[in-house]
Amino acid sequence: MKYNFDEMVNRRKTYSLKWDGEELIKKFGYTERYDDESIPLFTADMDLPVAQPIIEALHKTVDHRIFGYSVFPDEYYQSIQHWFHKRHNWTIKKEEIVPSPGTVHALNVAVKALTNPGDGVIIQRPVYPPFMAAIEGNGRIVRNNALTCSDGTYTIDFEDFEEKAKEENTKMFILCNPHNPTGRIFTPEDLKRLSDICAENNVIIVADEIHGDLIRKNQTFVPIVKVANKTDHIITCTAINKTFNVAGLHCTNVIISNPEIRETFSQAMGMQLPSPFTVSALIAAYNEGEEWLEQLSDYLDETMEFVKDFLAKKMPTVKVEIPEGTYVMWLDFRGYGLSSKEVHDRIYNKANVILEDGEMFGEEGTGYQRICIPSPRPLIKEALERIALAFQDVESKNPPEEALVK
């Protein structure tokens, strides 16, 4: 069927975090202003209707009228295996799959179960804030292998990475690929090199690959296990949450080939009984959701082109590259010469648009803003027009680079 992603679906009063979570949003420090006119584009879920097969599967579950304790049936595991074999040529054994109620939960379990207090864990900032929280909140030490940015493209400092991996108490590396918030998809060569360094130094890799199906049409995503010389030190987090816009159903699946690591992780995870809605949604998504995903990918690509073109015309001081993967865009506001506080005030208070301050992703994000764009394009347009108006006075003082050359 043909999906209309321009449709505006009112999410207020539906228990939505981004649309109804004023108290929590302010508590987390996203914004000082939040009201009925706010446009929230800060959190990574979509304002777009999900695939019809998922809706039908959930209706069928509701129509049963009983929602008791449930189990993960064989069909659940088979759907995961089928999806990853078809799309990524990755053969996964049933026993390698460990369900989790969420990726952040899985990260915390992995850190606590597979490292000790005081151990070092490598991350690559700017990166998704819960990575840092999972490390520091559990008494471990952040080893930051900061990504290097040149002309909007982020790359890995391998010399620094290897030095950190060799430190005696470094026990884990949390990889984010596709990378959030930069949108970088690391190359097979990069991934192999990361895996080899970690294997040589007995460092466990926890690979967050939950954006792996949200990539641009001209890009290719390869799971790290597909290029690694050995995989017994790799844990991979997969999920339907981001791909199919069902974050509220809490459905992550952790793939662990090493039996000893899997047993340790599973024991720490504890018994996990699923919601029947989670089971029916995953089976429908992986077995019947590909058509919807292909249409979504086209729509996201077009929206990103729209954002880039809008900024080039109305806010050329803001630098942005279309990401290789994810549905977030990493906006560089540093050209205005304003403080981060003033940039924040213009966007969040004057324009009344809620994004995410770059500093939340580490000091490497200072001067940046993350915007999540999987919303109807008319809403994205309104948000950008508000922001452009809030920067109109300073934009006029920053002539385009072509004019400066002349």
Biggest CA pair distance of the chain: 72
Residues 252 and 144 in one domain: yes
Here the tokens at position 110 are: 């992995």
Q: Between the CA atoms of 15, 21, 27 and 33, what dihedral angle is there, to the nearest 10 degrees?
A: 180
Cβ neighbours of 326 (radius 10 Å): 29
Kindly report, residue by residue over 356-394, the tens digit of the pLDDT.
Answer: 999 999 999 999 999 999 999 999 999 999 999 999 999
* Token pair of 289 as six digits: 């959701």
Q: Are residues 167 and 255 in the same domain?
A: yes
Q: Which two tokens stand for residue 109?
A: 């379990």
User: How many folded domains does the chain comprise?
Assistant: 2
Assess whether pLDDT exceeds 60 at residue 405: no
Asked if residue 34 belongs to a domain, the reply is yes
Asked whether residue 56 is assigned to any structural domain, the reply reads no
Range(s) of the domain holding residue 380:
17-51+290-391
Residue 403 pLDDT class (50, 70, 90 cuts): very low
In a domain, 62, yes or no: no
Same domain, 384 and 307: yes
Position 49 scores a pLDDT of 96
Contact 43/34 with Cβ under 8 angstroms?
A: no
Instruction: Read off the pLDDT of residues 108-140 as tens digits, 9 standing for 90 and up.
Output: 999 999 999 999 999 999 999 999 999 999 999
pLDDT reading at 187 higher than 80? yes
Q: Is the dihedral of CA 256, 260, 264, 269 positive or negative?
A: positive
Give domain status of residue 59, yes or no: no
| CATH value at residue 98 | 3.40.640.10
Cα 28 to chain centroid distance, Å, stands at: 18
What residue type is 15 in one-letter code?
Y
Q: CA dist 191 to 36, 227, 238, 305, Å?
A: 44, 7, 17, 28
Same domain, 197 and 207: yes
Residue 300 CB burial class (10 angstroms; 0-12, 13-18, ≥19): buried
